[in-house]
Structure 1
């Protein structure tokens, strides 16, 4: 049995967060199994035009899975505090000076009234490029964590599948070892029944019938195909890159041969082996649904 080199699960979660002088960024990435790569993004308006860059980063690193990406941005209170537009304030002061010169008794506006004049207070501009650059770095960190988590989960899946695959191989070996005895026992039972019935048949016709019955009960071909599929599953587990679809196809082929083996079963031993094969294959198939 070949040891799995790298199997990646499609189920994982990662989150990164960092506080900057201008605010706090948080990135969350969740992925579950999906036939194709299906990314979804939730971004604040200030980072909306960053989506194509993040989407491309996902496509370069992931092959399959439904991936939900969420980016949250909370500006720092300092960055939201308004600043005084000194130029506008100077213009107002000059205008007040002219008014005071023309109307000496005019009321002098209070500081609060000055601040409420249009254009005196302005929101401090946020460096959008700095926020986007930081969000991209944080997203890459979260993506790395997600990929590591998918690899750890995939390693566990590979161990489970390899163990079940070994059990499948043991069942095939057991059936193959039983077949000569089963065929001989079946031939003896048929001869005994015919002898009891004292049925007079042509010896050549009788032998032909026995050969036909033996051929129907013979499962060497199915066992050979099961062995070939087992070897191919082991081979695929040892390959790099996405392999989930290929493994899922192989599970269908294994199940097909197990069903044929069950339909050809003539004794309880092979029936039990066929049932155990189908249970093991179904267990592998369920886990393979999560493999990239």
Structure 2
């Protein structure tokens, strides 16, 4: 199954006294490059995210971010036990000192004690890190599923494009085979005429030796091998499209082989028709290479 290296997904969640937003996106890369932006105060996130991604993604520059916000609704005043103990000790010391000096003090009320700075904390209670980490990680499988699904959908679209381009390469390869066969008669006539000119104007030239050299030129101009290899590359590429595994690297290498055969075909063409076919092949192969750069 062909998968793209580009994709995006996001998941929102809430629980354990907070809300959060997961986001994941990826672009092309030679290998797997994971870039994580996660709250460092939540335990166990980094290794869990890396392990989950490596199990589902083979290539791409993948960025994952998690933003966590404490719930405002969870904001309830709460006592700070240490501050309360310190304040009560201080009140007791003040009352004891006043009694020793015969000074009567009105007893401190609970409201007055609570009103002292630091005794009553206003603001959100900090979420429990362990509970929150478990809650946000529960959304990770769904996030990765959505991300992989998008990459799969894009990969299917790329596979359709590549399949059509391979059909065009196959058509041009067949046309090249026909053009090469048509060229054979013309090439034989030209070589025979060249042989006659050489033997007629070169006194003492060995006709057999000249014939051998011309035959060697004919062999070097033969494009049968290049055409056969193009056909083999088309079959190999179609096999990759049907494979249920990452194939981007192999496909990229195969594109280099396609391009090499097309270049050789152009250099050995020897006819306008074959040259035009070779140039058309190079255009289609270049378009294929652009698509292959997106394949995982």
Please give the range of the TM-score, normalised by the shorter of the 2 chains: 0.7 to 0.9
Q: 1:241 to 1:198 in 2, by over 3 A?
A: closer
TM superposition shift of 1:88: 6.7
Of 57, 60, 68 in structure 2, the residue corresponding to residue 65 of structure 1 is: 60
Aligned to 1:17: 12
With a CA cutoff of 8 Å and minimum separation of 6, indicate the structure with the bigger relative contact order.
1
Aligned to 2:21: 26
Of 252, 255, 263 in structure 2, the residue corresponding to residue 251 of structure 1 is: 255
Q: Structure 2 regions of 5+ residues with no counterpart?
A: none
Give CA deviations for 1:30-67 in whole Å, capped at 9, x if unaligned: 10111111101111233264111111111111111100
**How far apart in 2 are the matches of 1:37 and 1:198?**
65
Aligned to 2:268: 264
Aligned to 1:121: 121
Of 235, 243, 259 in structure 2, the residue corresponding to residue 239 of structure 1 is: 243
8 A contact 1:24–1:73 mirrored in 2: yes
RMSD: 3.0
Per mean C-alpha deviation after superposition, the further-off stretch among 282-291 and 90-99 is 90-99
Give the count of matched residue pairs. Answer: 287
8 A contact 2:74–2:125 mirrored in 1: yes
**How far apart in 2 are the matches of 1:15 and 1:249?**
34
Q: Residue 126 of structure 1: SS of its match in structure 2? A: coil
- How do 1:20-169 and structure 2 match up within 5 A? 20=15, 22-47=17-42, 49-85=44-80, 96=91, 99=95, 102=99, 103-106=103-106, 108=108, 111=111, 114-121=114-121, 124-169=125-170
Q: Residue 24 of structure 2: SS of its match in structure 1? A: strand
8 A contact 1:10–1:65 mirrored in 2: yes
Q: Structure 1 regions of 5+ residues with no counterpart?
A: 1-5
Of 286, 289, 292 in structure 1, the residue corresponding to residue 293 of structure 2 is: 289
8 A contact 1:169–1:227 mirrored in 2: yes
8 A contact 2:81–2:119 mirrored in 1: no
Q: 1:128 to 1:13 in 2, by over 3 A?
A: same
**How far apart in 1 are the matches of 2:112 and 2:38?**
38
**How far apart in 2 are the matches of 1:116 and 1:60?**
55
TM superposition shift of 1:288: 0.7
TM superposition shift of 1:204: 4.9
TM superposition shift of 1:74: 0.7
Per mean C-alpha deviation after superposition, the further-off stretch among 104-113 and 64-73 is 104-113
**How far apart in 2 are the matches of 1:48 and 1:29?**
20
Give TM-score, length-normalised by structure 1: 0.86
Aligned to 1:227: 231
Give CA deviations for 1:247-270 in whole Å, capped at 9, x if unaligned: 000000111111111110101111
TM superposition shift of 1:79: 2.8
Give CA deviations for 1:131-170 in whole Å, capped at 9, x if unaligned: 1112112222111111000000000110111110110011
Q: 1:209 to 1:198 in 2, by over 3 A?
A: closer
